[in-house]
Amino acid sequence: MAKSARPVIGIVSNFDVEKDGYFCSAHYVRAIERAGALPVILPYVNADEVAAVLDHISGVVLTGGGDFPAELYGASPHQAIQRMIPERDRYEFALARSALDRRIPILGICRGMQLLNVVAGGTIYPHTLDELTSAIDHRDGTPLDQTVHEVHVERETQLSMLCGEQSSSFRVNSLHHQAIKQLASEFVISARAADGIIEAIERPDRPFVIGVQWHPECMYDSEPACRRLIDNFAKACNRTEKEPAWPQRPTRSQKRA
């Protein structure tokens, strides 16, 4: 694709079933724009057209949203699994797989982080509170412009370098009832909450493939670590696949799930 003055970053849209329309939170768009990139909201197309979509963008944001079916990660159906959109699942899973194959930078947010793990062969808890009695309620209704808990960043990870070496822990918002159970083999853990829930993952063999369980786009102004994460994602979308967005790659000795 021809180089533009700013990298073009595709943001996966959500879907309003009742209104039969696509929508996207303005926080995603504003954060990507303020990071110096050009945001483009992606509707759902047929899976065989995903390659054509990726021909025109330099990075992908896998956004938050509803759940996807438990059978996609080998679990039994659960009454807490809601707001499923089959068209989104088919499109977004194909988009993520193709973007990973092409080594295109990816930022997975909330559902997007879980999707990255499932696409790579990992699993998630259908409803975290049912299986982890020590876990806090990560979906207690607190608005996304307010923090809920701290995340503790693993040392020598890409996330620690991208957010700033001094950001060993910081407070984040939270809006999820699911979490990673078994980590896919290609990923390492970047951060956890105090209750042990995995809050961030990354692919150390990719220029930029990072998933976070919180919503950094809603904390772009209030939390420097979130701002640096999104700014560095935009920079990564302007680099070649041989140019990582951090000084050096971490080892694969990070603690796994």
Per-residue pLDDT, 251:
45
239, 226 contact by CB (below 8 A): no
Handedness of CA 193, 66, 130, 141 (dihedral sign): positive
Sort 32 into a burial class: Cβ within 10 Å, 0-12 / 13-18 / 19+: buried
Per-residue pLDDT, 176:
87
- Within 13 Å of residue 127, how many CA atoms lie on the same side as its CB? 9
Residues 92, 110, 218, 237: which is the catalytic one?
110
Active site residue 215: yes
Residue 249, C-beta contacts closer than 8 angstroms, at least 6 positions apart: 158, 204
Helix H or strand E encompassing 225: helix 224-236
Domains in the chain, CATH or no CATH each: 8-236 (3.40.50.880)
Residue 126, C-beta contacts closer than 8 angstroms, at least 6 positions apart: 70, 75, 76, 77, 78, 80, 81, 178
Give residue 128's identity as a one-letter amino acid code.
T
Residues 127, 154, 215, 237: which is the catalytic one?
215
Per-residue pLDDT, 244:
56
pLDDT along the chain (257 residues), means of 10: 76 93 96 98 95 96 93 86 90 97 97 97 89 79 87 94 83 91 97 94 96 97 96 88 51 46
Residues 199, 202, 217, 223: which is the catalytic one?
217
DSSP 13-32: -EEETTTTEEE--HHHHHHH
Per-residue pLDDT, 255:
46
Report how far residue 42's alpha carbon sits from residue 87's, in angstroms, rounded to the nearest whole number.
Answer: 13
pTM for the whole structure: 0.90
